[in-house]
A and B are shown apart, each in its own frame.
Chain A
Amino acid sequence: AQSVTQLGSHVSVSEGALVLLRCNYSSSVPPYLFWYVQYPNQGLQLLLKYTSAATLVKGINGFEAEFKKSETSFHLTKPSAHMSDAAEYFCAVSEYAGNMLTFGGGTRLMVKP
């Protein structure tokens, strides 16, 4: 069985500050890991994904995430927050060749001017 834990349901940062959203997973096999973003009243959009090619993954809008097997983590970071980054972020895991995504509870990012 696989599961995802996102620490912090709400994170608030100032514009220009570092963004760090935490994600820990459990999986019985090497996982595929994803970060999705959901803007208000919209569906989920893929930010980036880890598929074992490289442990540091770069995504859209300046976000990146690092896969750390020893820590079973896949934290999302962005060096400098922008007001437009305010949204809800979901970490998800899928087993190799699996079809189902298991989502974490989500983290709502607020960006203060």
Chain B
Amino acid sequence: DAGVIQSPRHEVTEMGQEVTLRCKPISGHDYLFWYRQTMMRGLELLIYFNNNVPIDDSGMPEDRFSAKMPNASFSTLKIQPSEPRDSAVYFCASRKLAGVFNEQFFGPGTRLTVL
């Protein structure tokens, strides 16, 4: 299996621009998670989906952030407008409903820099 795929791996943009991060989960996985990693706050769960439906978005920091999962093989995290404090590494993870006790498989991350 190819694992969780994220694109782009690096993104540099200017304040005010729209940013879209993409994730392809492992085939057959039922859950998809979006995390943000910063030096100050560590790893934070932003939102997660079950069978393409958002279950908990309490970690989404502001209305500028939105996430969608139009089908089982694709999800996006959008920031509009972006701000310098959004600079972070964004990880996507997925897992099966049943199987190995909540083990999540992580993608390589997207490093976002907002100037």
Interface residue ranges, A against B (CB under 8 Å): 32, 34, 36, 41-46, 49, 51, 90, 94, 98-106
Among B43, B100, B105, point to the contact of A103 (Cβ < 8 A). Answer: B43
A41: B residues at CB distance < 8 A: 108, 111
From 1 to 59 in chain B, residues with beta carbon under 8 angstroms from any chain A beta carbon are: 4, 31, 33, 42-43, 45, 48, 50, 55-56
Residue of B nearest to A104 (CB): B42
Interface residue ranges, B against A (CB under 8 Å): 4, 31, 33, 42-43, 45, 48, 50, 55-56, 91, 93, 100-109, 111
Known: A34-B103, A99-B48. 11 other contacts (CB 8 A): A32-B101, A32-B102, A36-B106, A43-B106, A46-B105, A49-B101, A99-B55, A100-B45, A100-B48, A101-B33, A102-B45
Contact B106–A94 (Cβ < 8 Å) = no
> With A99-B55, A100-B45 given, is the CB distance from A43 to B102 under 8 Å?
no
SS of B interface (majority): strand
Residue pairs across A and B with Cβ atoms less than 8 A apart, 26 shown, are: A34-B102, A36-B106, A41-B108, A41-B111, A42-B108, A42-B109, A43-B4, A43-B108, A43-B109, A44-B91, A44-B93, A44-B106, A46-B105, A49-B101, A94-B102, A99-B48, A99-B55, A100-B45, A100-B48, A100-B56, A101-B45, A102-B45, A103-B42, A103-B43, A104-B42, A106-B43
Contact A99–B102 (Cβ < 8 Å) = yes
A104, B37: Cα distance in complex, Å:
12
Task: Report B18 CB to chain A, min CB distance, Å.
Answer: 24
A99: B residues at CB distance < 8 A: 31, 48, 50, 55-56, 102
Task: Report A25 CB to chain B, min CB distance, Å.
Answer: 14
Task: Report B71 CB to chain A, min CB distance, Å.
Answer: 20
